């Protein structure tokens, strides 16, 4: 299924390319402009895959680093320095280094940071956050959607109906082919889940965020920026995603 979607996406890209080149040729000096544009498209198509190499290297190295730090944290747990190995995540690298050296840690500091992390995790990301740190809120002005539908931003065209799977932690994802992924946001670590799903709905995101870009690459209908999607859509509920129009219908 993923292969078919990929081929369909590539076919559409070729069609769009030909349409752009045809329009350019109608302009003054159009043949030259079209030839130059085609060369630029070919260059991008040849080298665009290399953009993933730095990211892949970072992910691989961070995994190795994490395993090493957790192994050291487990030793501290056995020695009674830490209550649990996950407590290492609430220390800076220098604090963790000092804990390993001195075999002592400020337990109250760890608990305060754990509590702060839980409070931050419960926050709802603002729809827009300016470079000055100002959080902007608002509502979509839409009169072209069915009653009861959830509105958002259209980022990947197509319409699909299926079972919604609300996933808040990728490690707990239990998806089957044809499911529609509903989550707060995605990042590169979520990419393997896109292989089998049929659509995507997220609470945060825009046209160029990770989920939107990957959805278009895989030809998956997607709507992002859907306020409280993970709370308004029940896990297992049937929904219909309108990727071109930017809304989600909740089906009986």
Please check whether residue 180 is in contact with residue 200, taking contact to mean a CB–CB distance below 8 angstroms: yes
As given in the structure block, the two tokens for residue 57 are 């290297």
Tell me the catalytic residues: 210
> pTM above the 0.95 mark?
no
Please check whether residue 140 is in contact with residue 240, taking contact to mean a CB–CB distance below 8 angstroms: no
pLDDT category, 6, cuts 50, 70, 90? low
The pLDDT of residue 192 is above 90: no
pLDDT category, 1, cuts 50, 70, 90? low
Q: Are residues 161 and 230 in the same domain?
A: yes
The pLDDT of residue 237 is above 70: yes
Across 61-65, average pLDDT:
91
What's the confidence (pLDDT) of residue 100?
Answer: 94
Question: Is 12 part of any domain?
Answer: no
Across 41-58, average pLDDT:
84
CA 74 to chain centre: 31
Question: Is 191 part of any domain?
Answer: yes
Q: Are residues 186 and 243 in the same domain?
A: yes
CATH of the domain at 235: 3.50.30.10
Q: Which of 78, 103, 121 is the last residue of a domain?
A: 121
Question: Is 5 part of any domain?
Answer: no
Question: Is 103 part of any domain?
Answer: yes
The pLDDT of residue 12 is above 90: no
What's the confidence (pLDDT) of residue 43?
Answer: 92
Q: Are residues 111 and 22 in the same domain?
A: yes
pLDDT in tens, 85-143: 999 999 999 999 999 999 999 999 999 999 999 999 888 777 777 888 888 777 788 88
Number of domains in the chain: 2
The pLDDT of residue 5 is above 80: no
What's the confidence (pLDDT) of residue 234?
Answer: 96
What's the confidence (pLDDT) of residue 49?
Answer: 77
Question: Is 4 part of any domain?
Answer: no
User: For all residues of the chain together, what is the average pLDDT?
Assistant: 90
Distance CA 53, CA 150 (A): 37
Distance CA 164, CA 94 (A): 43
Q: Are residues 105 and 163 in the same domain?
A: no
Interacting residues of 104 by C-beta distance below 8 A, sequence separation 6+: 81
Across 141-167, average pLDDT:
92
Please check whether residue 150 is in contact with residue 250, taking contact to mean a CB–CB distance below 8 angstroms: yes
What's the confidence (pLDDT) of residue 51?
Answer: 77
What's the confidence (pLDDT) of residue 3?
Answer: 64
Question: Is 140 part of any domain?
Answer: no
pLDDT top residue among 165 and 169: 165
Return the minimum-mean-pLDDT range out of 14-18, 21-25, 240-244. 14-18
Residue 233's domain comprises: 150-250
Number of Cβ atoms within 10 Å of the Cβ of 169 = 7
Question: Is 135 part of any domain?
Answer: no
């Amino acid at each position: 299924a993923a292969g078919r979607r990929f081929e369909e996406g590539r076919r559409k890209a070729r069609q769009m390319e030909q349409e752009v080149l045809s329009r350019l040729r109608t302009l003054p000096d159009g043949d030259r402009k079209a030839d130059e544009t085609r060369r630029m498209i070919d260059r991008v198509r040849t080298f665009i895959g290399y953009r993933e190499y730095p990211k892949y290297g970072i992910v691989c190295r961070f995994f190795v680093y994490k395993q090493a730090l957790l192994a050291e944290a487990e030793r501290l747990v056995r020695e009674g320095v830490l209550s649990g190995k996950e407590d290492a995540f609430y220390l800076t690298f220098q604090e963790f280094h000092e804990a390993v050296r001195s075999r002592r840690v400020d337990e109250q500091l760890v608990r305060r940071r754990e509590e702060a992390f839980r409070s931050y995790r419960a926050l709802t990301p603002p729809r827009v956050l300016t470079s000055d740190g100002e959080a902007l809120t608002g509502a979509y002005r839409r009169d072209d959607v069915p009653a009861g539908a959830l509105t958002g931003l259209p980022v990947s065209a197509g319409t699909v109906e299926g079972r919604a799977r609300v996933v808040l932690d990728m490690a707990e994802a239990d998806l089957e082919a044809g499911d529609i992924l509903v989550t707060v946001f995605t990042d590169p670590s979520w990419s393997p889940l896109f292989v089998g799903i049929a659509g995507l709905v997220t609470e945060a995101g825009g046209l160029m965020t990770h989920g939107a870009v990957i959805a278009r690459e895989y030809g998956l209908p997607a709507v992002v920026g859907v306020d409280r999607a993970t709370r308004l859509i029940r896990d297992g509920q049937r929904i219909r995603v309108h990727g071109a129009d930017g809304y989600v219908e909740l089906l009986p």
